[in-house]
Every structure is written in structure tokens, then in C-alpha cells.
Amino acid sequence: MEGTFRFQVGDEEFDATPGTSVLVPRGTPHTWANVGPNTGRMLFIFTPGGIEDFFPEISRHSLEEIVQIAADNDTVIIGPPMVVE
């Protein structure tokens, strides 16, 4: 991880910095936002695999289309992105 990100995993909200690992159990609502002054980077590991095409695919679509693509990948979008003030 590079940078600082704020995560919400279930009811818990916390900041993550380099060296932090974040575990999101299957079926747990979660979101994150970059709260650092610069662009950040994260490494995601999904087990089991199978979602590797999801993120490149959604980058080319509207929100309405993304909701359907997510559903096709057994993922439910339950709210807007996290807003950090």
C-alpha cells in the first residue's frame, strides 16, 4: 500500500497506511477512499479468484451498467462511494 486510505468494513471505520492489511470477509459491506495528499496504490487479493475481469470492465460503464455487471459477478452495490471531508 502506498498512501493513506480510510476504510469502512461493516460498522468499523479506520485509516490504513503502508504496512496495513485489511481483511473483508465475504458478504461484508465495505468501502474505501484515498484520504492522503497524493495518489495512492493498494494491492487486492481475492480468494477464490474469478473477479479479476470485474474492475477493468466497470471502468468503461455508467453507474447503472456497473450495478448490473456487479450483480452478474455476485456482487451487490449497496450505496454511494465513501465521502471524506
Look at residue 78 in the predicted model and tell me its pLDDT: 84
In a domain, 81, yes or no: no
Alpha helices in the chain (DSSP H): 54-58, 63-72
In a domain, 85, yes or no: no
In a domain, 82, yes or no: no
What total number of domains does the chain contain?
A: 1
In a domain, 33, yes or no: yes
Look at residue 51 in the predicted model and tell me its pLDDT: 82
Q: pLDDT tens-digit profile of 15-29? A: 999 999 999 998 899
Cβ atoms within 10 A of the Cβ of 5, count? 22
Q: pLDDT tens-digit profile of 37-51? A: 999 999 999 888 878
pTM for the full predicted model: 0.78
To the nearest whole percent, how much of the chain has pLDDT over 70? Answer: 100
Flag whether pLDDT at 85 surpasses 80.
no
Closest among 82, 85, 6, 5 to 41, alpha carbons compared: 5
